[in-house]
Chain A
């Protein structure tokens, strides 16, 4: 018993010692980054490449001396282990591991759980991938930032692209996964569509269960209904299954398909896809980004990622880069503002508001008013290029984020209702593949 007590005392003392705060101006040994991402479950199609990207980026960053001369270390938590484990582990990272910043999360559900928690814990958090617009519209946060766009500009870009390139359609059907992303993205798309083309008729709204293994019946129904346009924001295995079953039975040729976040599936679907499908990428993310593809650093990044994982980067990889760039920018600015000395946490948070930074696309700005990222959007159509074993994007439009993102202080859907048919007339540059 005595021995146990002694050990316990020693452990307690050690813990207290460890917990003693470091003097604010001292450079810490490392900048600890807590990252929540999907390592299990269906969304690991995003989470696992993103984790690989984070490790690659951190390694590269540390080789170059880290952030302000301090190396970074990464601490991952699995969003797929369920809500209880997510919240407990987030607290563990913040309170025990004492991370300096968190990147959370992929799923909007996780962001909705963690954003208030991060605020409670005064922990700077970059919502690096989740798309629900409502999170930053409902409340002004100090510690939560979004280093990317949200569903509103993402859907608007896809819609404007559709209306610019294939304006003559009368009927539309939707097949979305049944969860917030699927429902919200359709609400945004439909609200805007009704404003810009009021005579369109919605002939079917199908929301199969998230992770549904079979879409045969949905495909049959759509084949019978013959809608002019079929819209989907599905992703991962769900999208792959739906697209392949549609292709096998001629649906892809019968209707115009809009794969609003299809960029992540292109490499897997290979040459199963016909040309001419409209594909979005949740940002200006494309490994052959027309404005970036000749940048040697961008090429080196893509090649290194491909060498490491066997696939070209997809948007979650680029979103991960944006979170790192945002962090680096915030620290750099805070160090500058602090006269070259290491900043404390609050100073870093101050420096993150209104910050502009560059990932592997156009510059992103996190608006000071609501911490929402303004990120350009790239949309294109599929086309064959024999140099690749899969379809690439052609006729790409890159949308400036300002006009397609609702102004701070407004709610997405209300703002969308103020738009009209003229909205489509905006000028957007178009880029050819290989051009």
Chain B
């Protein structure tokens, strides 16, 4: 029980940050400490065992009062409540209540069972069934079924709403409950029940969890009028991310790139070490920190620990970073350092604003359960704390704001399979996004307010003709599926990405 602090991470649950398109991987650190030296610098070794301090009578009357009050309430509830609730259940609920009282979404208590299931490294692959899901009304709806994945072989489809896992009805319990239930050990079976549009009963599929490829780094070489431009997308800052990033950069530099776009949009963060090493590829040692961190104990912050650049010269090409409102934590460390320390451009929209760092505690008495506690802050190069709540700034503010096309913010069209939408109907949830898709995809300049007029009908017919669908000018489920696919294909092309195009214009202005 002496060992209290096991690790530091910027990150608790990626799932709590991204609203759409999370894979079933929930990325958390496990075991290794990316920043051991911070621990040592923080007097943690001096810290008494929390139980000792209780026994030592360190606590005052308030504590006694609160404890006896707590026990009285348990006793009353257990004795008199008509539902006959057990004290075990009450104490478990009390634990969660304590964390709720912190009003901090990144501090959490995980049972041993959850820890086991969460125990996935932020690696280049993860064990799962191979789907990415998006939250529609907080229900997980499958957006992509990965190629050659267990989910594809079993027959899960885009648009399926995951309702049951291993026989348990999880409807109404939210994304995370479903994700946690799906996760498990490689080679074990899981039965998934889905609601599929057009089919009234739940469909069940059994599949075996397998290693799913999940690259944290993707890159591309883009020729802009003969000018080679490098593009590297970082999906999260995992254990192998730095190595992969470095390889990608070397490859691109071999092609003599004249500009580099680093895309950390929708990147919920990750290890401090990963972002530190990547920043070190670009930023020079000029006496200013790239960023700093500090930890708290009994409300007192430690002296900040500074991290300095290590290059002697900056790269000979310009670098633009792309962020959006789902860029969080380590992504914000990266973007703010590139901006404030390197003086590089950051394009996009203001980031999410997560300036806290979580430490994990699992003393023996928790018997395998784990607490994650927001204990530290990270500060930008200029010493600012960026945090949604109470920070100096609420997010990293881009040097130039670029709002994405509306189509990049839409969810899939998803409705009961026997429903259709046609001329003269009004629907804000389906017809309005359908109009935005049709307009953006070039099937007609039409109204986008949710009223299905004749022009909308013509545009829909043009889409149906182009995709060999029943030509009736009516939106049925088949047409909706085709529209969803067309939308995802459109979004996947760099040439349609307004933020990327804006980055190119930065290079061209030089």
A pairs with B: no
Q: Which residues of A contact B (CB under 8 A)?
A: none
